[in-house]
């Protein structure tokens, strides 16, 4: 997508064939800083310190990390070491593991002299596939937006609520939940996005608001508490969120608070869709609420809020008494019956076992 | 309630008969600062700058403001001036107007020499009545907690979720939503409170967490997004929230986000009660969603977050891009059908026209 008129991806290979560039997302929204990754360690730090985040982008960064390592030392020992180092950065990230396995399986049988070029080409392919997947999700979601637009007066805004950042910064490009929005905007449809702040890590306020603003998409930041009110008053035409993990029956585990928005959407007759690449589907799990363990993260993510002070310094402030006990549940599960449908790279389906199996019969059967 | 073992109210008259003390709530939770109000202007500033907040406490402070003025100058001109000055501090606060009207109506017919003592006695009576009302609310709500406790193993915690600060700091003492909790705690029942952070002004994180902690009540701070998850997993026995304004049919206008918690409670079979003094009921309004206009406050309440930095300095930080458009809806309306009941000073009733009229027939009839 564009940043003030200039096209960007969240990760890109430089022309020298040995350097990869990323946008440091820990500095957003207050500073736009890019880093050049020239060593395996640079790539590991970028993932571990969350300079890059979002499952697809983590996978792409890991694949490029191996490629960078292979350029310097294409030995099998380095292949194993780079796998181990990168995997340890965020051991629970399924996409990271997947990208590393794919890369290692491809490179291991090759002669050393061919590994570096193959690794670079493979990392580039992972990126292209992500872009294609997200573009396809956007194309299908765009149909929903066009249907809503057709029922409105010309020029009347189509308002879409989203939660967290399932935007282009979480992927290589387009994003998942934002892909239909960007495609509608680029076609000239008057979309407007309600951006949930998304406490505790504020990915809505710091990332989604930033990327929509830089691309020129009309949007308004609200607190997570406000979603029910705006739906109650007819100010939302459509909700689209992302998914961190989807069950075979269509339950969606996503950023904490997603479930509350799905409840409000149902109560007010607002369509609620989840945009997801099929790689987020765990075909071995059915009941998301019972079967998916919810990660508890450090309480300081709630009690300390990062930002920029009036002097322009990036700092953090404590927002509760120092001795307040805090619980920080990172995700929640939205049951499939609350959703209008799932937007995947192969089309839109009912959020159900039958719906997903209809679009992905080979994966449903294999599970 | 107690602050580290010492009993406090949110406002109290000093023994000199001309000074009133308050806790400066704008400094919470990081500093505990009390102010002595010795002039009419002090009282006006305390209300205008939100050193005191919460409808009952604002009313009590205004009544004491008139009393302070009468001690210095009991003329009818001063009575009128003090009314005007105090009323202008927060012109939309219904309780402020009510307290001032009551006070002025009482004082105007009196000889000047009697006005100061009468004003002080009247302000004290407003405070005592608020304490009695809240204590009665707590006694009725305590019954609900005892019923839940009776179904649990001895010592097993009873978990209550609350939103915003309907605590003793918003009233003269006890609070509304917190009154049943304090009474249960003081009886030795093992209550635990899930404290919603309550963006954007963070009254949960800064006030409710503070007052529960200082009184010794077990509690855990969570983000507003987490309420659905904890209810989904059986970790909440009961929700109790306050009300800023209640319709004659039992709809409740309360801090933004209350509605989302009511939806989650219904979806998970968790009892959802609203604790309210009958003074919050507007007997002329029925449909809260259609008839109650929702105040939009300044967007900087969302984009700038106050707190204390690592050096101990109280400051604010910007949490989104500087040019991000923000909408700040202060309240939402929870429709009565989502509630298990209303806890009032006269008992618990169904959230409905019949329920409220049953407990307050004289008020329902007069409307």
C-alpha–C-alpha distance, residues A260 and A231, integer Å: 12
Question: B125 to chain A, minimum CA–CA distance in Å?
Answer: 33
Which pairing describes strands A218-222 and A191-196: parallel, antiparallel, or unpaired? Answer: parallel
pLDDT at B295 over 90: no
Residues B13 and B157 in one domain: no
Compute the Cα dihedral for B231, B236, B241, B247 and give only its sign: positive
Whole-number pLDDT of residue A367: 80
* Domain shared by B225 and B284, yes or no: yes
pLDDT score for A93:
75
Residue of A nearest to B211 (CA): A321
Question: What CATH number is given to the structural domain containing A58?
Answer: 1.20.120.420
- Which of A216, A226, A303, A312 is the best substitution to test chain B (most B C-beta atoms within 10 A)? A226
Contact across the interface for B223 and A263, Cβ inside 8 Å: no
- Domain range for B328: 136-366
Whether residues A288 and A337 fall in one domain: yes
| Domain closes at, from B73, B102, B128 | B128
Residue among A228, A265, A288 with most chain B CBs within 10 A, to mutate: A228
Q: Which chain A residues touch B324 with a CB distance below 8 Å?
A: 29, 205, 209-210, 213, 219, 221
* A42 lies in the same domain as A79: yes
Residue A166 three-state SS: coil
DSSP string covering A171-183, please?
SSSS-STTHHHHH
User: Average pLDDT, stretch B338-360?
Assistant: 98
Q: Please state, as a whole number, how many other Cβ atoms lie within 10 Å of the Cβ of residue B317.
A: 23
One domain for residues A292 and A358: yes
Mutate to test the interface with A, among B212, B218, B226, B291 (most CBs of A within 10 A): B226
Q: Pick from B219, B256, B320: which is nearest to A226 by CB?
A: B256
User: How far is it, in rounded angstroms, from Cα A82 to Cα A69?
Assistant: 7
A1-23 pLDDT per residue, tens: 999 999 999 999 999 999 999 99
- CA A298, A300, A305, A309 dihedral sign is negative
Is B15 annotated as catalytic? no
Same domain, B314 and B256: yes
Q: What is the Cα Rg of chain B in Å?
A: 21
What is chain A's length?
A: 367
Residue B112 pLDDT greater than 90, yes or no:
yes
Interface list for A 316-345 with B (CB within 8 A): 316-321, 323-329, 331-333
Interface ipTM: 0.95
Could B228 and A316 be called an inter-chain contact, meaning their C-beta atoms sit closer than 8 Å? no
pLDDT of residue A133 exceeding 90, the answer is yes
Q: Which of residues 89-128 of A touch B (CB under 8 A)?
A: none
pLDDT at A206: 97
Do B44 and B99 lie in one domain? The reply is yes
Percentage of chain B modeled with pLDDT above 90: 96
First to last CA, chain B: 35
Q: How confident is the model at residue A92 (pLDDT cuts 50, 70, 90)?
A: confident
- Going by C-alpha positions, the residue among B244, B255, B240, B254 that lies closest to residue B339 is B240
> Does residue A226 sit at the B interface (CB-CB below 8 Å)?
yes
Look up the CATH number of the domain holding residue B320: 3.40.50.10470
Dihedral sign, Cα of residue B110, residue B113, residue B116, residue B117: negative
Q: How far apart are CA B43 and CA A45, in angstroms?
A: 55
Q: What does the DSSP 8-state code read for residue A326?
A: B
In a shared domain, residues B316 and B241: yes
Write out residues 37-76 of B within 8 Å (CB-CB) of A.
none
Residues A288 and A335 in one domain: yes
Read off the pLDDT of each residue in A86-113 and give the average, rounded to a whole number.
Answer: 92
Average pLDDT for chain A = 97
Confidence of residue A91 (pLDDT cuts 50, 70, 90): confident
**Considering CB atoms only, which of B29, B199, B226 is closest to A223?**
B199
Catalytic (active-site) positions of A: 244
User: Which chain B residues contact residue A270 at CB under 8 A?
Assistant: none
Helix ranges restricted to H, chain B: 40-48, 55-72, 76-89, 94-107, 112-150, 179-186, 203, 209-215, 227-232, 258-267, 288-291, 300-303, 353-359, 361-366
**What's the CA gap between A45 and A64, in Å, rounded?**
13
Which pLDDT score is estimated for B95?
82
B310 touches chain A (CB under 8 A): yes
Q: Chain A residues with CB inside 8 Å of B291's CB?
A: none
**What integer is the mean pLDDT of B176-202?**
98
Q: Are A151 and A183 in contact (CB under 8 A)?
A: no
Residue that is last in its domain, among A112, A128, A144: A128
Q: Do B260 and A332 touch (CB under 8 A)?
A: no
Question: Which tens digits make up the pLDDT trace of B256-286?
Answer: 999 999 999 999 999 999 999 999 999 999 9
* Domain identity same for A79 and A165: no
- Which chain B residue shows the shortest CA-CA distance from A267? B263
pTM: 0.96
Assign A94 a pLDDT band (cuts: 50, 70, 90): confident
Active-site residue (options: B130, B224, B237, B244)? B244
Residue pairs spanning A and B at CB distance below 8 A: 232
Over residues A169-188, the pLDDT tens digits come to 999 999 999 999 999 999 99
Same domain, A117 and A252: no
pLDDT of residue A81: 98
Question: What residues 264-303 of chain B have any CB closer than 8 A to a CB of chain A?
Answer: 264, 267, 289, 294, 299, 302-303
CB-CB neighbors (< 8 A) of B169 in chain A:
none
Average pLDDT over residues B112-138: 98
**DSSP tag of B362:** H
Q: What residues contact B287, with CB distance under 8 A and at least 6 apart? A: B247, B249, B251
Count of CB atoms situated within 10 Å of the CB of A97: 18
B91 has pLDDT over 90 = no
Could you check whether the bond before residue B200 is cis, i.e. omega within 30 degrees of 0?
Answer: yes
SS3 B329: strand
Query: In percent, how much of chain A has pLDDT > 70?
Result: 100
| pLDDT tens-digit series, residues B192-203 | 999 999 999 999
Q: Tell me phi and psi for residue B281, to 5 degrees.
A: -80, 125
Q: How many CB atoms lie within 10 A of CB B356?
A: 27
Residue after which a domain boundary falls, among B75, B99, B128? B128
What integer pLDDT is reported at residue B367 of this predicted model? 80
Mean predicted confidence (pLDDT) in A42-46: 98
Give the model confidence (pLDDT) of A231-284 as tens digits. Answer: 999 999 999 999 999 999 999 999 999 999 999 999 999 999 999 999 999 999
Contacts of A366 (CB under 8 A, 6+ apart): A283
Question: Looking at per-residue confidence, does A55 or B198 come out higher?
Answer: B198
- What is the DSSP-derived secondary structure letter of residue B167? S
- Residues A199, B198: C-beta atoms closer than 8 Å: no
Beta strands A245-247 and A252-255: pairing type? Answer: antiparallel
Task: Inspect the interface and report whether the beta carbons of B260 and A306 lie closer than 8 Å.
Answer: no
Q: For position A303, what pLDDT does the model report?
A: 98
pLDDT value, residue B276 = 97
Judgement on whether residues B159 and B305 belong to the same structural domain of the protein: yes
pLDDT of residue A95: 82
Shortest CA gap B72–chain A (Å): 40
Q: How close is the nearest chain A Cα to the Cα of B229, in Å? A: 6
Structural domains in chain A (count): 2
Of B221, B303, B309, the CB nearest to A315: B309
Query: Chain B contact for A3, CB < 8 A?
Result: no
Closest CB to A325 among B219, B230, B305: B219
Nearest C-alpha in A relative to B233: A289
Which residues in B lie closer than 8 A to residue A317 (C-beta atoms)? 305-309, 315-317
């Amino acid at each position: 997508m564009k940043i003030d008129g200039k096209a960007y991806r969240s990760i890109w290979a430089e022309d020298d064939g040995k350097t990869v560039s990323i946008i440091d997302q820990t500095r957003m929204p207050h500073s736009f800083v890019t880093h050049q990754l020239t060593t395996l360690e640079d790539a590991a730090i970028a993932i571990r310190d969350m300079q890059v985040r979002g499952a697809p982008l983590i996978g792409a960064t890991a694949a490029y990390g191996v490629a960078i390592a292979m350029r310097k030392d294409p030995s099998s020992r380095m292949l194993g070491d780079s796998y181990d180092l990168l995997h340890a950065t965020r051991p629970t990230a399924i996409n990271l593991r997947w990208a590393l396995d794919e890369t290692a399986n491809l490179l291991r049988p090759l002669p050393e002299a061919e590994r570096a070029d193959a690794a670079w080409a493979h990392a580039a392919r992972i990126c292209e596939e992500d872009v294609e997947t997200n573009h396809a999700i956007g194309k299908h979601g765009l149909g929903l937006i066009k249907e809503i637009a057709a029922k409105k007066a010309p020029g009347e805004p189509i308002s879409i609520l989203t939660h967290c950042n399932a935007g282009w910064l979480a992927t290589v490009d387009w994003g998942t939940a934002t892909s239909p929005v960007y495609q509608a905007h680029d076609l000239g449809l008057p979309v407007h996005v309600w951006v949930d702040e998304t406490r505790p890590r504020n990915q809505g306020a710091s990332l989604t608001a930033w990327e929509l603003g830089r691309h020129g998409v009309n949007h308004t930041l609200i607190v997570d508490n406000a979603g029910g009110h705006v739906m109650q008053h007819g100010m939302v035409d459509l909700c689209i969120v992302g998914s961190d993990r989807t069950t075979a029956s269509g339950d969606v585990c996503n950023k904490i608070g997603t479930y509350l928005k799905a409840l409000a959407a149902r109560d007010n007759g607002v369509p609620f869709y989840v945009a997801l690449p099929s790689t987020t589907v765990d075909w071995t799990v059915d009941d998301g609420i019972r079967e998916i363990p919810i990660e508890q993260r450090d309480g300081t993510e709630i009690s300390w809020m990062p930002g920029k002070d009036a002097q322009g310094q990036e700092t953090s402030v404590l927002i509760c008494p120092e001795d307040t006990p805090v619980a920080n549940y990172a995700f929640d599960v939205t049951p499939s019956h609350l959703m209008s449908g799932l937007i995947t790279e192969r089309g839109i389906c009912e959020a159900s076992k039958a719906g997903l199996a209809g679009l992905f019969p080979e994966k449903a059967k294999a599970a």
